[in-house]
Amino acid sequence: MRTECAECAPGGGAKSLCLVLIVYGAAAGGCGGDPADLTPVRLRHEPPIGQMTAEQLRALSLDCEKYPPKDSMRGRYDGRYCEDAIAAWGDSPLQMITLPSTSAR
């Protein structure tokens, strides 16, 4: 005696519907992981770090720091590329701004 799809009607169309629901249910259950856990097809490692502006380095290093190092990647980025970007941002000169002086007398 078959026990699969016991709640589905014995008709041919209902069996196909039941099978489709089982397949989609299994697929949806397996796709609920963290996007950072999925291995990207191609890890990003461009543009060259030496050609980036200070603002681009800052943005890249902040983006890289969102992801913990995992194998040889950080999120969608190549791990070594991120480490180099973080180091370059750390070594870059401080961005100083001048504030208008106010006389508080």
pLDDT in tens, 29-71: 555 555 555 554 588 878 899 999 888 999 999 999 999 888 8
pLDDT for the residue numbered 40: 47
Contact between 89 and 55 under an 8 Å Cβ cutoff? The reply is no
Residue recorded with tokens 């973080």: 86
Average pLDDT over residues 70-94: 86
Q: What is the pTM of this model?
A: 0.50
- What residue ranges do the domains of the chain occupy? 11-92
Residues 6+ apart with CB under 8 A from 18: 5, 8
Assign 98 to helix, strand or coil.
coil
